[in-house]
Amino acid sequence: MSNKNRIRAINRIVERPADSVFEAKPATIDYYGIDVFNEDSMRKYLAKDTAEKLLATINKGVTLDASIAGDVAHAMKEWAVDRGATHYTHWFQPLTYGTAEKHDSFVSPVSHGRAIMAFSGKNLVVGEPDASSFPSGGIRSTFEARGYTAWDPTSPAFIKRHANGATLCIPTAFCSYRGEVLDKKTPLLRSMQALKESIVRLMRCFGVPEETPGITLGAEQEYFLIDEAFYLQRPDLVQTGRTLFGAPPPKHQQLEDHYFGSIKPRILKFMTEVEVDLWKLGIPAKTRHNEVAPAQFEIAPMFEDLNMAVDHNMLVMETLRQVAERNGLVCLMHEKPFAGVNGSGKHNNWSISYGKRNLLDPGTDPEQNMIFLTVLSAIIRGVDLHADLLRSTSCSIGNDLRLGSSEAPPSVISIFLGDQLEGIIDQIVKEGASNGSKKPGTLRVGVNTLPPLPLDATDRNRTSPFAFTGNKFEFRAPGSSMSCAAPNTFLNTIVADSLDFISEKLEKAPEKDFQKTVQSTLRDIVVKHRRIIFNGNGYSDEWVAEAEKRGLPNLKTTPEALKPLLDADNQKLVAKYGVFSKVEMDSRYEVFLYDYHRRLRIEGEIALEIATSMVRPVAQNDFARLSAALAEATSTGIKEGLSGLRVATKSAGARLDRLTEVCDKLKAAVAAEKYEDIIKDMEALRAVVDELEHEVDDQEWPLPKYREMLFIY
Ligand code: ADP
Ligand code: MG
């Protein structure tokens, strides 16, 4: 009986001892940020002037005074050791899906078999991990194994704990011997610098007093949780993060009863543990809820400075995985772990600020209105000119399955503004045309003639990949397992370029013509780039057809969506802002395409193994059992039941034949590395296997079923 394991898994869940119910006691969060080397710890462990210098770098972007590195290292070590750390690591984000760390202990032998805990300025500032086995797309060959990690003081050091110890983690950037980037953080930092400079330049045009520019991110994270006992019986989940087989059960998400539903105690216990761990790391976990698909959930933080938010999201994913494990659960971050129900995304809420002013806040006074509309137009221009580049940041083998299906935005990039803003855009176009009739001196960029914008000017549209949501843009295409670094790197760069495009015009305008120039510039932009705005239903087929008419790119698969990285205009743009050199863009293309192909091959191989070693024996037994029964029934001479048996035996035989046939095809496609065929053949194989799941004796089925994994926990 092959389903013994399935039954054991269910029993294990049923027999879990009940968790005791929380006894009310006053809640505290005095542990918030306790495992981060934050401003408080800096002030406690560093001399006053050193702390001030470090804080100036962190808060105001002042170049780090190299002479303080030794003192900072010492203070960081003292703090970490006080918090139980024995090791430190440079923590970085290579071109894989995860983060990387190599631990060194603070232990440093001195004479007579004694040791002290030591950590120098050099240890803090640079690391030289043997980097030969990280993806580099040919930038760094194995004989030049060296890579460098460089301390990023703008993202605070933190402590990671495990059962019997702790490690000081220092966020770093990672580059090659010759300085080419090998990670996701360096380009992000470069793009932030570029965008911040463009913001300052634009604000200067508007005569706004000098402030600190900022870029903010709030990354909503969706995920699935299933019981570990099921997970361990699904080689596809273990190897690829998604189910390659599995028939959707009769009830999944159609009743819309999971979204925002009451959260099961086992899940709430998990969520609470996640939050406590995140709060200790100073990560502002804020929102938790059930998502649309069964067993799907979401966590969202309060938005933060972009660089920190990107690092924090990596830690959110890691914490979700680890706390799940502690709770006998597995957290699936894959974009489409289950066919037929919603996939998981990562909504990238992005905005820019100047001092305390959110530049994407429409505001209530004409000046803020005008700045808002200028920034909005810059974004419209940037996204229209480089929609393909933005799209390239959210392609992956997992996201190919998610985009364009079950409540995920399509692969066409467009902007949602809502009716009210679209009306204002109309106004800009018209106002510009009927220029002469108004009194000189009034700001006529469309808004001053309209009532002030209410704060929540926009309706919600969940079907748009890039939606204005009141005071920020929400980029919804990125997948749940991805780092937010790439989407924001390109978003920053294309917006920097468009802000500069506008500033250049405004700088040239004589003072008396300033408003006229703003108006005509915005008008020209809107007229030219309006095609990128779409307020309708992004899930509809009509939109895909309409988008094609408008000439918007529709890059459906990863190989297509990566091509924009090679595009000459795109390469010129990112080079202009010092974000990526041509070599770096080319290498990224190589790395991501190779990664995609490698993953596809793994999927093909594991699908084959499951089909031949787990499913085929069941299909064979099914056929053998039925044909034996048919032979026996025939020999008794009894007619009743014979026709039913004959039909069943025939279909069992046909299924077995089809299974063998598609397995052979898939095997050939994998061997020949014909990637499009691998995808097609895997789909065909899935159809046969899912049919078998329905038809064969439930007691024989070797893989946990959707109705078990998604509903029993
Ligand atoms: P919804 O699910 O309705 O889109 P959520 O509250 O789940 O909204 O998430 C919204 C996210 O946007 C939160 O992480 C929030 O902190 C973030 N956010 C709000 N304002 C800004 C801003 N100015 N810049 C960046 N992110 C923001
Ligand atoms: Mg949300």
For each of the domains in the chain, give its residue range(s) and CATH number, in order of start: 1-30+582-713 (1.20.120.1560), 39-183 (3.10.20.70), 191-220+344-574 (no CATH)
Q: What is the pLDDT of residue 389?
A: 97
**How many CA atoms does the CB half-sphere of 331 hold within 13 Å?**
25
CA distance 93 to 706: 34
Which has the minimum average pLDDT: 49-63, 369-383, 619-633? 49-63
Helix (H, G, I), strand (E, B) or coil at 117: strand
Q: In the chain, pLDDT over 90 holds for what percent of residues? A: 76
Q: Which helix (H) or strand (E) element contains residue 231? A: helix 228-231
DSSP 214-225: EEEEEEEEEEEE
Evaluate if residue 41 carries a pLDDT over 80.
Answer: yes
E-state strands within 321-399? 329-332, 346-354, 357-358
pLDDT over 60 at 670, yes or no = yes
Residues 483, 346: contact at Cβ < 8 Å? no
CA 200 to chain centre: 29
Mutational pocket test of ligand 1: of 288, 416, 472, the residue with most ligand atoms within 8 Å of the beta carbon? 472
If you average pLDDT over residues 268-280, what whole number do you get?
A: 97
Quote the tokens at residue 232.
């361990």
Q: Which residue has the higher pLDDT, 126 or 681?
A: 681
pLDDT confidence of 136, banded at 50, 70, 90?
confident
Among the bound ligands, name the one nearest to the CA of residue 474: 1
Residue 428 clears pLDDT 80, i.e. is over it: no
Return the H-helix or E-strand segment holding 114: strand 114-117
Nearest to 583 by CA among 189, 188, 181: 181
Which amino acid is it at 604? G
151 Cβ partners below 8 Å, 6+ apart? 69, 90, 124, 125, 126, 170, 171, 172
pLDDT band at 4 (very low <50, low <70, confident <90, very high): confident
Provide the residue type at 235 as one letter.
Answer: P
Cβ proximity of 596 and 590 under 8 Å: no
Residue range 633-649, pLDDT digits in tens: 999 988 899 999 999 99
What is the mean pLDDT of the segment spanning 325-329? 97
**pTM, whole model, 2 decimals?**
0.94
Residue whose CA is at the smallest distance from ligand 1 atom 13: 218
Ligand 1 centre from 526 Cα, in Å?
Answer: 26
Report angle CA 188, 190, 195 to the nearest 5 degrees: 90
Asked if residues 117 and 572 have their Cβ atoms less than 8 Å apart, the reply is no
The pLDDT assigned to 437 comes to: 32
CA–centroid distance, residue 346 to ligand 1 (Å): 12
Q: Is the pLDDT of residue 445 over 50?
A: no
Residues of the chain with pLDDT > 70: what percent? 94
Residues 6+ apart with CB under 8 A from 659: 611, 615, 616, 619, 685, 688, 689, 692
Other C-beta atoms lying within 10 Å of the C-beta of residue 90: 27
Q: Which two tokens stand for residue 177?
A: 């011997």
Residue 449's pLDDT band (boundaries 50, 70, 90)? very low
Residue of the nearest CA to atom 14 in ligand 1?
Answer: 218
599-623: per-residue pLDDT in tens? 999 999 999 999 999 999 999 999 9
Sorting pLDDT into bands at 50, 70 and 90, what band is 177?
Answer: confident
Q: Which atom of ligand 1 is nearest the CA belonging to 469?
A: 4
The residue type of 133 is S
| From 195, 215, 220, mutation site for ligand 1 pocket: most ligand atoms within 8 A of C-beta | 220
> Long-range contacts for 50-54 (Cβ within 8 Å, ≥24 apart)?
50/75, 54/153
What confidence score (pLDDT) does residue 145 get?
A: 64
How confident is residue 439, by pLDDT bands cut at 50, 70 and 90? Answer: very low
Mutate which of 303, 313, 350, 466 for ligand 1? The one with the most ligand atoms within 8 Å of its CB, which is 303
Q: How far apart are CA 634 and CA 644, in angstroms?
A: 12
Nearest to 74 by CA among 10, 121, 12: 121
pLDDT score of 459: 59
* Residue 63 vs residues 181, 187, 657: alpha-carbon distances, Å: 20, 18, 69
| pLDDT of res. 260 | 84
pLDDT band at 432 (very low <50, low <70, confident <90, very high): low
What is the C-alpha to C-alpha distance for residues 217 and 350, in angstroms, rounded to an integer? 5
Task: List C-alpha distances in Å: 443 to 20, 515, 542.
Answer: 64, 6, 39
Using the predicted structure, report yes or no on whether residue 431 has a pLDDT greater than 70. Answer: no
- Per-residue pLDDT, 141: 59
- In degrees and rounded to multiples of 5, residue 243 shows phi and psi of -85, 120
Ligand 1: atom nearest CA of 361 is: 23
Q: What would the mean pLDDT of 365-374 be, rounded to a whole number?
A: 84
**Quick one: pLDDT at residue 451?**
38
Which pLDDT value is given to residue 254?
80
Q: Which residue has the higher pLDDT, 84 or 442?
A: 84
Question: Phi then psi for 51, rounded to 5 degrees?
Answer: -60, -45
More confident residue, 137 or 345: 345
List C-alpha distances in Å: 641 to 112, 646, 651. 89, 9, 16
Q: What is the pLDDT, as a whole number, of residue 444?
A: 40
- How far apart, in whole angstroms, are the C-alpha atoms of residue 120 and residue 73? 6
| Mean per-residue pLDDT over the chain, rounded | 91
Least confident of 286-290, 511-515, 530-534: 511-515
Query: What pLDDT does residue 588 have?
Result: 95
Query: What's the rounded Cα separation, in Å, for the pair 699 and 509?
Result: 79
Task: State both tokens at 124.
Answer: 């803090």
Nearest to 451 by CA among 423, 473, 429: 423
Indicate whether 503 pLDDT > 80.
yes
| pLDDT-based confidence at residue 562 (cuts at 50, 70, 90) | very high
Helix/strand number for the chain, H first, E second: 24, 18
Poorest-pLDDT segment among 262-266, 360-364, 551-555, 581-585: 360-364
pLDDT recorded at residue 435: 40
Residues 640, 642, 644, 648: what is their CA dihedral angle, to the nearest 10 degrees? 160
What's the average model confidence in pLDDT over 252-277? 90
Residues with CB under 6 A from ligand 1: 216-218, 220, 287, 300-303, 347, 349-351, 358, 471-472, 474
Three-class DSSP category at 85: strand
Name the burial class of residue 572, with classes exposed (0-12), middle (13-18) and buried (19+) by CB atoms within 10 angstroms of its CB: exposed
The Å distance, Cα 349 to ligand 1 centre, comes to 6
Cβ 565 vs Cβ 589: under 8 Å? yes
pLDDT at res. 547 = 95
pLDDT tens-digit series, residues 694-705:
999 999 999 999
Q: How far is the CA of 710 from the centre of ligand 2 (A)?
A: 21
**Which of 140-154, 439-453, 500-514 holds the top average pLDDT?**
500-514
Neighbours of 207 (CB within 10 A): 9
Atom of ligand 1 nearest to the CA of 349: 26
Q: Is the predicted pLDDT of residue 322 greater than 80, yes or no?
A: yes
Give the pair of three-digit tokens for residue 605. Answer: 């191989």
Contact (CB, 8 A) for 121 and 88: no
Which residues are registered as beta bridge partners of 181? 175
How many angstroms does the Cα of residue 477 sit away from the middle of ligand 2? 13
